[in-house]
Amino acid sequence: MVNTLPQSETKLGIKAPTKETVLTPRFYTTDFETAANMDLSAQENELKSLLAEMQADYNRHHFVRDDEFDQSWEHIDGEARRAFIEYLERSCMSEFSGFLLFKELSRKVKQRNPLLAEIFQLMARDEARHAGFLNKAMGDFKLSLDLGEVTKTRTYTFFPIEWVLYSVYLSEKIGYWRYIIIYHHLQKHPEHQFYPIFRKFESWCQDENRHGDIFKALLRSQPKLWNNWQSRLWSRFFLLSVFATHTLTVHERGSFYHLLGLEPTEFDQQVVRNTNETAGRAFPVMLNTEHPQFFPRLKNCSDYNLKIAEISRSSQPKLVKLFRKLPLFLSIFGNLLLLYFIKPIDTEAFRGTVR
């Protein structure tokens, strides 16, 4: 196979970040004043316990490149190389996004909420380790991201702190399930373990899980985020948004999962089901993933998204592309709307059974 990366990338070593789209990891800012004023008393003991775990820093010696990395990776080339680098880049940008948000939150709330500030500082530490480790992995393929430059050029999206709690909780928990499912799969099928970073995923996902538990405690410390009708609507919205993004992303990058010996649709459904069940411990509702229309409609959205990507790659005029894409965008929206109105499962009524 022939290396398909552009020559400019191979020579310069600095990879231009992938163009921002709805599906690429985003950078966020929030209302720091509201965050600083949050009353955490309802979950203070839980947060202090989680802080003690963070201070213990169980993974401080885990993200070290051992001798297994010290070899040539030229045999990973062609489509396999492209797919893997794309995975590393997306993962690195996602972790770096978390680092920036947590670091800024820690700095802005330090004077009025020292407990919260230290928690965010230590979560930023973890995210920085993850991002740096992923960027060094890209270096094995003679590429890296200039993360300092990225902070200056990337678009920042404002999310109210309430949205941050919902979305980051789900991001950390879905990250946990992605990592642990891949790790266990490769333990059973070592013939697909083509690069040593996957051996790190067990401890890696412990960080993700711990971060998710912190955001669960923060969310449950704010009654308005789980004990009224508005919180039920927002929970459904964020669950569906995260699951739809995951489904579209997995199928866009199906070649990477095939490299691991995973069937993309099966992997996606397993991650979504497990994340949904986990979210039932924090959110007032979870989605009915066993509804006969749930996964078929998500798959419809993925198929339409792949057609949109195909149109984007064509050489047709922009206006023609737009007219061809429009009905596909409307179809995605229609399917998501129908999914949103599937009756959810009330987890508050069965709190004891989902713990």
Q: How far is CA 3 from the centre of its chain?
A: 28
pLDDT of residue 23: 54
β 27-29/156-158 pair status: parallel
Give me 93's structure tokens. Answer: 């940008």
pLDDT of residue 13: 65
pLDDT along the chain (355 residues), means of 10: 37 56 74 95 96 92 88 89 92 94 96 95 95 93 87 88 96 96 96 93 90 97 95 97 96 94 97 97 97 97 96 93 96 98 88 47
Burial class (CB in 10 A: 0-12, 13-18, 19+), 141: buried
Q: In angstroms, how far is the first alpha carbon of the chain from the final one?
A: 50
Closest CA to 156 of 76, 100, 197, 212: 100
Which residue is associated with the tokens 């919180």? 231
Inter-helix orientation angle 294-313/318-340, to 10°: 170
Residue 253 in contact with residue 83, Cβ under 8 Å? yes
Closest CA to 239 of 205, 206, 182, 288: 288
Residue 184, C-beta contacts closer than 8 angstroms, at least 6 positions apart: none
pLDDT of residue 3: 38
Three-class DSSP category at 179: helix
Which residues is 346 bridged to in the sheet?
285
Question: Domain-by-domain residue ranges, the chain?
Answer: 1-222, 226-355
pLDDT of residue 2: 34
Three-class DSSP category at 178: helix
Name the pTM for this structure: 0.91
DSSP state, residue 14: B
What is the CB-side half-sphere exposure of residue 325 using CA atoms within 13 A?
Answer: 16
